């Protein structure tokens, strides 16, 4: 959509209380590597300046749309449309069906109708993501079950609101996926304005990164120097847990006009959304020169999350001359750890089944997924789990009684098992590092999905390989130290009187 096509939307925004100086901020198409369409500064901005403001009433959420009241709040809740995303998606489909009769008609007309995210890839493209955690996190089957079991019955129950002849056009499963993708890529978590004065100060200090469901879902950072708060969350899983009742001071998943036009890129954030009781404010977090792009933030996500949510990857210069995403990660599942332990330690008499130890581990709050990143350090939790598996029956009973998992000391058992686990994890990809590097040499001729998938899996493999190199070096040093200790204990060794030092880990 060109700037001229944005004119009706910008007019709608300003006539409904939105405040933006179009002589200071413009919108243009940047190269794909810079995010495509985005916002540009037309003058110099200093840190702390307000770029534009949005009235809370202009945000689109399940609270601001009138659909739930027209449908009937009691029935809306009985059908669990107040849980997760399903209610907001239905509101967005209904508002879109109203065209320009909807308050948000001009805004909805600006939102994308096609996406490059794996949710819309075919099976052959999805195979390119084999070995990564992307596919299992798409939630496509869960979304379709949600649509068929919750949303579609609600639609069919109210033909006065959702005419049958409009279902295939405005309320189809494809439209459900499109609206869900719009939320995933563009929504914000906006805290409700009903915080009392006594609670506001405490909130200001505590709102920050929101590791909900994590995976890598993160909130927009908050500038505690400002009396307003801002939050963004890019993944809002459906949660029908009856215990997760809405709290008075919780957030609403909201579509925020204008704010969602800003692009984001790793380490580039120069603007952030803040809010007060009646208004959302996009403010600069650093100086922006005229001609520079205005960048929002989504938490410096790894490429596996960028491709899942937004359909693109970040490639920046890295040490050693490579290009990649400094925020890349790779996940190690706990069941892989247990599986490799079972294969390699069949002779270890631990006195109790692995299942019992894992159940206890999880009950004690232990992780079931471990994350490696570009610092190539091993999470302490995975070492603790490995040592738990190796405990003798007596040691296990002691740990269980004290509700205290083993300390994350990388002993020889844990080190050897860790190397086996990472090697196995690396083998789960269908291609090698060298093969992926060769594929990317033809970057200009590669189909977009294949290129993105190769970048994602290669970034993960680099992390695994580098971590393995570090661990292998550690093991070699340990083995050398062990041999030296053995040599010094030999009576005929001329150096037997000299002491040797243990290698430190």
Q: Is residue 345 part of a domain?
A: yes
Q: Tell me the residue range of the domain where 469 lies.
A: 329-488
pLDDT at position 37 is 85
DSSP-derived letter for residue 405 is P
Percent of the chain with pLDDT over 90: 68
Do 163 and 193 reside in the same domain of the chain?
A: yes
71 exposure class (CB count in 10 Å sphere: 0-12, 13-18, 19+): buried
pLDDT at position 478 is 75
Digit-coded pLDDT (tens) for 76-85 = 999 999 998 9
The CB density around residue 196, as the number of other CB atoms within 10 Å, is 9
Do 376 and 347 reside in the same domain of the chain?
A: yes
Of the listed ranges 127-136, 235-244, 305-314, 493-502, the least confidently predicted one is 493-502
Distance CA 475, CA 481 (A): 10
Distance CA 293, CA 306 (A): 19
Do 304 and 431 reside in the same domain of the chain?
A: no
pLDDT at position 202 is 35
Do 182 and 133 reside in the same domain of the chain?
A: yes
User: Is the pLDDT higher at 32 or at 490?
Assistant: 32
pLDDT at position 328 is 96
Q: Is residue 323 part of a domain?
A: no
Do 197 and 94 reside in the same domain of the chain?
A: yes
Identify the bridge partners of residue 390 per DSSP, sorted by sequence position: none
Q: Is residue 302 part of a domain?
A: yes
Does 245 have pLDDT greater than 70? Answer: no
Distances (CA, A) of 36 to 30, 267, 363, 426, 466: 5, 17, 46, 34, 33
Do 378 and 276 reside in the same domain of the chain?
A: no
Does 498 have pLDDT greater than 50? Answer: no
User: Is the pLDDT higher at 237 or at 317?
Assistant: 317
Give me the phi and psi of 20, to 5 degrees please. Answer: -145, 135
Digit-coded pLDDT (tens) for 171-214 = 999 999 999 999 999 999 988 876 444 433 333 322 223 333 33
User: Directed axis angle between helix 412-426 and helix 334-344, to 10°?
Assistant: 110
CATH number of the structural domain spanning residue 484: 3.90.1420.10
DSSP-derived letter for residue 29 is E
Instruction: Out of 250, 281, 309, pick the residue that ends a domain.
Output: 309
**Average of per-residue pLDDT across 12-36:** 90
Distance CA 401, CA 393 (A): 12
Do 337 and 230 reside in the same domain of the chain?
A: no
pLDDT at position 300 is 86
User: 196-204 — which CB contacts under 8 Å span 24+ positions?
Assistant: 199/249, 200/227, 203/229, 203/249, 204/229
Do 349 and 257 reside in the same domain of the chain?
A: no
**Average of per-residue pLDDT across 355-381:** 94
Q: Is residue 21 part of a domain?
A: yes
Do 115 and 185 reside in the same domain of the chain?
A: yes
pLDDT at position 477 is 83
Do 210 and 65 reside in the same domain of the chain?
A: yes
Distance CA 137, CA 304 (A): 10
Distance CA 196, CA 118 (A): 42
CATH number of the structural domain spanning residue 163: 3.90.1410.10
Do 348 and 258 reside in the same domain of the chain?
A: no
How many domains is the chain partitioned into structurally? 2
**Average of per-residue pLDDT across 22-32:** 90
pLDDT at position 255 is 97
């Amino acid at each position: 959509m060109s700037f001229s096509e944005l004119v009706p939307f910008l007019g709608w925004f300003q006539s409904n209380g939105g405040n933006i100086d179009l002589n200071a901020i413009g919108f243009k198409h940047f190269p794909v590597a810079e995010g495509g369409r985005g916002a540009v500064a037309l003058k110099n901005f200093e840190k702390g300046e307000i770029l534009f403001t949005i009235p809370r009433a202009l945000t689109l959420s399940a609270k601001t749309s009138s659909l739930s009241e027209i449908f009937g709040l009691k029935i809306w809740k009985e059908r669990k449309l107040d849980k997760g995303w399903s209610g907001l998606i239905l509101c967005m489909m209904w508002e879109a069906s109203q065209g320009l009769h909807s308050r948000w008609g001009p805004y909805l007309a600006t939102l994308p109708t096609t996406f490059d995210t794996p949710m819309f890839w075919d099976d052959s493209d999805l195979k390119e993501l084999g070995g990564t955690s992307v596919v299992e996190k798409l939630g496509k089957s869960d979304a379709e079950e949600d649509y068929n079991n919750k949303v579609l019955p609600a639609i069919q129950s109210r033909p006065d609101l959702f005419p049958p002849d409009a279902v295939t056009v405005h309320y189809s499963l494809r439209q459900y996926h499109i609206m869900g993708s719009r939320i995933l890529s563009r929504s914000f978590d906006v805290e409700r304005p009903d915080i009392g004065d006594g609670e506001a100060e405490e909130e200001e200090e505590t709102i920050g990164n929101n590791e909900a469901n994590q995976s890598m879902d993160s909130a927009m950072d908050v500038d505690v120097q400002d009396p307003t708060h801002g939050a963004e969350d890019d993944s809002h899983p459906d949660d029908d847990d009856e215990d997760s009742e809405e709290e008075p001071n919780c957030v609403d998943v909201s579509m925020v006009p204008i704010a969602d036009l800003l692009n984001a890129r790793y380490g580039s954030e120069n603007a952030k959304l803040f809010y007060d009781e009646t208004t959302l404010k996009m403010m600069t977090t650093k100086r922006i020169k005229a001609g520079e792009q205005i960048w929002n933030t989504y938490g410096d996500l790894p490429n596996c999350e960028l491709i899942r949510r937004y359909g693109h990857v970040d490639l920046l210069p890295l040490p050693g001359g490579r290009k990649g995403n400094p925020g890349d990660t790779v996940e190690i599942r706990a069941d892989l750890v247990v599986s490799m332990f079972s294969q390699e330690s069949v002779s270890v008499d631990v006195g109790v089944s692995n299942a019992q130890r894992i159940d206890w581990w999880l009950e004690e709050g232990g992780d079931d997924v471990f994350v490696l990143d570009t610092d190539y350090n091993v999470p302490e939790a995975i070492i603790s789990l490995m040592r738990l598996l190796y405990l003798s029956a007596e040691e296990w009973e002691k740990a269980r009684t004290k509700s205290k998992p083993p300390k994350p000391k990388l002993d020889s058992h844990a080190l050897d098992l860790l190397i086996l686990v990472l090697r196995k994890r690396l083998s789960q990809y269908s291609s090698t590092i060298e093969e992926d590097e060769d594929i990317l040499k033809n970057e200009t001729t590669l189909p977009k999905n294949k290129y993105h998938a190769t970048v994602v899996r290669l970034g993960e493999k680099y992390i695994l390989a580098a971590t393995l190199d570090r661990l292998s070096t550690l093991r070699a040093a340990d083995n050398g130290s062990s041999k030296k200790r053995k040599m010094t204990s030999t009576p005929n060794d001329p150096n037997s009187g000299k002491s040797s030092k243990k290698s430190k880990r």
